[in-house]
Amino acid sequence: MRILHKLGLSAVLTVFAIGSAGAVEIAKLDEFRPGDLQAIGFELTRDAEVSIDAVGMRPRDADQMTVYAWILDSDTRRPVWIMQAAGTDRIRGSRVLRSAKDSEMLSAGKYELYMYAGRFWSWDNNSFNFKNFLGEVFSDDWDDEDLDELRDCHVTISSEGLSANQIKSFTPDGGFPNALIRHNKLRDSEYIRTAFRLDKEMDLRIYAVIEYPSGYREPVDQSWIVDNATRERVWEISRWDADYAGGGRKNQYYDDNVSLPKGEYTLYVVTDDSHSYEDFNTAPPYDPMNWGVTISPGRDFDKGAFHLIDLEETGQPIIDFTRARDNDFFEQAFKVTKETKVRVYALGEYAGGKGDFADFGAIQDANSGRTIWEMDYRNTTHAGGGEKNRMFDGTITLEPGVYYAYYSTDDSHAYRDWNTSAPYDADSYGMAIYPASKDAASAIKLISSDELDKESNVLARVTRVRDSERRRERFSLDKDSWVHIYALGEGTGGRMYDYAYIIDTETGRDVWEMTWRKTDHAGGASKNRRVDDTIMLPKGTYEVVYETDDSHSFNNWNSSPPRDPMNWGVTITLSDKR
């Protein structure tokens, strides 16, 4: 698709010529090639009625015009006239040409005239690729008769009530002369961040033109604002906020005032790998030059209280599991010496179904074995690209204690091996944990797995058990004690196939067993089962045993793994239950 500013062509138009009927020609667009989107700007110094003479195309098998024109108000960014099929007449002798002769009363101001030469697209198509359909040479799919018809397409605006000195021309650029932040005319695969500070609460006007395909939960070309202190999204575009932007149905726009408290923020602007400025794969929006987002002064704006600032440096991550590839498994134990906030930034693959992730990260309390944070659908947002790409970017509070973080991927769709479009921030695929404040790093110490067991209340740990194993570990209690049992295994039809049990070594009798009735679903396949229980054991010596059958075990799953794959097995810890 070529987007042309008509005044920039080498053959400059005579914009203000006197017509045969004494009318002043204000603007004209013609000489189209397939896929062209042409634009020209004009300004009226006083109110005037203008005449519009346009010839476009509507194939007989189409409900809408495929070659058509419109006029945009440069200040409001909304169309004041659109060439629609219902307002046109068939031109005798042509299969596709349609004529529009119209008039509009225009107030003094700036306007932009557009004309689009589309052909083989659908107004409701969300994924069709114009270039792929037509091939590299657009004219290959236009027969000679169609090309001849296209040469007759044009639009002319004139007025009998204006003189040449009451008309000015300009090259349209999307307007917004007082913009504070402007990212427009965005192309495919953009990932832009801009930071700013507000010294007091104020309103900002946010105007965005985006791609929001029908049936998608979130836009695929999107903008959002994050509070730098909390990592919370304080503004984003939802389906309820967006309005139809013209052209293809997936073209949507947002235009409203947003009130933000005093603070520091980052604006994120992203696009996916198709349908953007100069490469729209369906009909463009009425305001194509503002594909992206613009922030302007809102109501009661205080110029002195708004500042662009440098992007906040995240520094070095405490834990870095990024650029995760297929079948990766990362883990790291760490100790927290005082209550501390950390920023977790994680990207993963949502597998759908019961809300499970195929690629995800989590943080667990080493003493209890319980997960204190993990990626799920509700706490993540679309990460760009394929709809299954999800992202978490937020802060969590860690109490003093010992923890381990892990990140796991399945056998497809990971860094540099995507099976659908990659996320916006592909290099960060995986998980990274950062200190949320300057003193947070000093409160966190990375430790080894051996140090983890010494620092925690673990009595016995038999985890990451593979096929056809029977592993055991002893532990002793010097007094009657409550113990916490956390175990994952395989079970179907009321029977366990991978399971744990505890033996009293003095009597040789089982004192506890992981039965079907004691378990609940552990995520992933329905046969993944979990025990999270606390029992009283008398003083003595015990042996915990874990047995597996010949299939579906740690890193050798024959169906979806559990949410907590690294704990496939059993962990026993002292409990603080009284």
Task: Give me the DSSP letters along 185-236.
Answer: S--TT-EEEEEEEESS-EEEEEEEEEE--TT-SS-SSEEEEEETTT--EEEE
Q: How far apart are the C-alpha atoms of 85 and 131, rounded to whole Å?
A: 25
The answer to whether residue 141 sits within a structural domain is yes
Structure tokens at 401: 């204690």
Residues 28 and 160 reside in one and the same domain: yes
- Give domain status of residue 175, yes or no: no
Residue 578: predicted pLDDT: 54
Residue 456 backbone dihedrals phi, psi, to 5 degrees: -105, -175
Assigned domain for 348 exists: yes
Same domain, 484 and 426: no
Sheet holding 263-270: strands in order across? 233-236, 222-227, 263-270, 191-198, 306-309
User: Can you give the pLDDT at residue 9?
Assistant: 36
Q: Which residues, given as ranges, of the chain have pLDDT below 70?
A: 1-2, 5-21, 119-142, 353-355, 577-578
Which pLDDT does position 53 carry in this prediction? 97
| 314 occurs within a structural domain | no
Together in a domain, 279 and 414 = no
CA distance 339 to 337: 7
| Residue 193 is assigned to a structural domain of this protein | yes
Answer yes or no: do 565 and 486 share one domain.
yes
Are 434 and 464 found together in one domain?
no
Residues 18, 64 within the same domain: yes
- 130 and 52 assigned to the same domain: yes
Instruction: Please state the pTM of the whole predicted model.
Output: 0.77
Q: What does the block give as tokens for 536?
A: 């009283």
Residue 338: the pLDDT is 95
How many domains, in total, are found in the chain? 4
User: What pLDDT sits at residue 353?
Assistant: 61
pLDDT score of 137: 33
- Tell me, yes or no, whether 542 lies in a domain: yes
Residues 207 and 136 in one domain: no
Structure tokens at 507: 């009597």
Give yes or no: residues 478 and 568 share one domain: yes
Q: Where residue 494 sits, what CATH number does that domain have?
A: 2.60.120
- For residue 428, give every residue at least 6 positions away whose Cβ sits within 8 Å of its Cβ, in sequence order, or none: 322, 323, 345, 347
Residue 341 lies in a domain: yes
Boundaries of domain holding 400: 319-450
Domain ends where: 425, 450, 475? 450
CA separation (Å) from 98 to 69, 103, 155, 301, 354? 12, 17, 12, 47, 52
Decide which of 309, 335, 356 is a domain's last residue.
309
What pLDDT is attached to residue 577?
Answer: 65
Q: Of 343, 263, 339, 341, whose CA–CA distance to 307 is shortest? A: 263
Residue 154 within any structural domain of the chain: yes
Any bridge partners for residue 528, and if so which?
A: 490
β-pair partners for 463? 569
Query: What CA–CA distance (Å, rounded) separates 122 from 363?
Result: 47
At 519 the pLDDT is 97
**Are both 82 and 102 inside the same structural domain?**
yes
The answer to whether residues 569 and 440 belong to one domain is no
End-to-end alpha carbon distance in the chain: 72
Whether residue 482 sits in one domain with residue 397: no
